[in-house]
Structure 1
């Protein structure tokens, strides 16, 4: 395993590749035009942030309760398109205590409307990570862009037969009869969400390990239910040797730093999701620990600064 060095700017230990065999080159790795993985050390825990690609979404979904003119002004101020946004999609691979834990699985490759997403499996391979080495999967929730990668052709056959998939019991219960009445998604999305979740449950139900509020998956790797975005939405907290990092799933979006009270159209309980977001951002600002989230621009690793109820997104400086 390559030597880890301390980043003088962030105070974190980082490596260019710290997972077993992750530095081994592959054809897909050489052909990539942009970086798609970023390694971080959290004490003795190795973390690899992987870009699953980007999803095109209509920008009104970012803030369904905001004045359209204010939303457009925010997008313009951030140099973002005001009609369709290419939304980043990240997953993480964590190695702790002899376990290799994939947190979320990306979109998969069976959604032709999203040709630039669904790259998790190929990018794990580009990093030299064998799917058979993954011992556990943690699902922050069961939206299709978090479980679809496990449904791609041939993936299940390449995973360990004793793979453990950790998910909140409230999430599993919700998808038995999902209620989208408080969400504001494009009309084509709910049927796909239902269909994907139903297929996932049919294929992986025997491997689910359900928890109520929190569960330690591996040494220093704790998954905690927050609710809000979905009833069983969860975050993953890492802690080792005094270092910490939080993977927030869909609890935090880029716009949520400036406008944490804006509702995302995919949130099943928007009011609760906003409360979860504010609590989490306040906590991270106080602890100064790094944050990674599904839909923050890759590699997503950042800090949270706060002045009262106003938050600021502070990306870490990349270290080579």
Structure 2
């Protein structure tokens, strides 16, 4: 089977005014289900998992990245897990799937990173991708994010034991390799016409989202600001959140804003292609999938 003949779709393109956004699946990785709601009562989490037809102990976590084309700029938003983690063989598919989608890595002018967790930066460390990127590539991330990883604090996270050390070493390696190409920003930065990156904090101190707006249409790539349980249970905290209370505030604000504007949402760990709208439902929200446009 050729790369373009994968039986399960791995890319989906949507037009936002004059800007093209292609969501690409980097694959899935297994995650302990309890990590998705560390402050939830076990019975409530079990009931939610059952209602969603998800396994009770270990569930697959989707990994979505995006390629955004605006004018003469080709922007890669996050890069997936990469292939340096042999325990996750179904993730790290980005290099292959960029080829399948006809996206030449040498055409990428900018990379935007929502944050420096390994499942967002690992793809940029893989020889199959890193060696094919242009030498004048610009890598945009919040200055607070780069600063945080100089001496990261995991005291408020609830992760499986080996993960913090792997996150730390991966971020250190990334910063060492790409430091000369970093373009840090403080609060927000327009990467290309209609493509704005904005720091939210919460999940990590420099966590950021990307908003695409053109000709009255808009789409937000929310990174890890919202996870699958976060619509119905926005107060549930994820074990990877470095500031759980601030993450909750960020999630509420973002979902309320998206429900008010009606614009589309894409997020890293929502089921591919994750394209949806947000509706308010009392004190919580509803995930409203967008019909695929053929």
Q: State the TM bucket, normalised to the shorter chain.
A: over 0.9
Tell me which residue corresponds to 2:217. 243
The 5 A counterparts of 1:209-288 are 209-288=183-262
Which digits, 9 at most, give the CA deviation of each residue in 1:31-50, with x for residues without a partner? x1200000000000000000
Matched residue of 2:177: which SS?
helix
1:27 maps to 2:2: yes
Matched residue of 1:73: which SS?
helix
Quote the Cα distance in structure 2 between the aligned partners of 1:314 and 1:61: 24
Matched residue of 1:223: which SS?
strand
Quote the Cα distance in structure 1 between the aligned partners of 2:209 and 2:244: 17
The 5 A counterparts of 1:109-128 are 109-128=83-102
Following superposition, the deviation at residue 85 of structure 1 comes to 0.6
Tell me which residue corresponds to 1:313. 287
Tell me which residue corresponds to 2:49. 75
The 5 A counterparts of 1:26-175 are 27-30=2-5, 32-175=6-149
Matched residue of 1:70: which SS?
helix
Quote the Cα distance in structure 2 between the aligned partners of 1:246 and 1:83: 31
Quote the Cα distance in structure 2 between the aligned partners of 1:288 and 1:148: 32
CA RMSD of aligned residues (A): 0.9
Matched residue of 2:12: which SS?
strand
Provide the aligned length of Structure 1 versus Structure 2: 294
**TM-score where L is the length of structure 2:** 0.99
Matched residue of 1:101: which SS?
strand
Assess if the C-alpha contact under 8 Å between 2:26 and 2:93 holds in 1.
yes
Of 175, 200, 213, which aligns to 1:201?
175
Quote the Cα distance in structure 1 between the aligned partners of 2:67 and 2:2: 21
**TM-score where L is the length of structure 1:** 0.91
Is there any run of 5+ residues in structure 1 with no aligned partner, and where? 1-25
Matched residue of 1:110: which SS?
coil
Which digits, 9 at most, give the CA deviation of each residue in 1:221-271, with x for residues without a partner? 000000000000000001000000000000011100010000000000000
Following superposition, the deviation at residue 154 of structure 1 comes to 4.1
Which digits, 9 at most, give the CA deviation of each residue in 1:265-299, with x for residues without a partner? 00000000000000000000000000000000001
Quote the Cα distance in structure 2 between the aligned partners of 1:130 and 1:27: 17
Quote the Cα distance in structure 2 between the aligned partners of 1:306 and 1:116: 34
Is there any run of 5+ residues in structure 2 with no aligned partner, and where? none
Quote the Cα distance in structure 2 between the aligned partners of 1:146 and 1:256: 20
Matched residue of 2:127: which SS?
coil
Following superposition, the deviation at residue 319 of structure 1 comes to 2.2
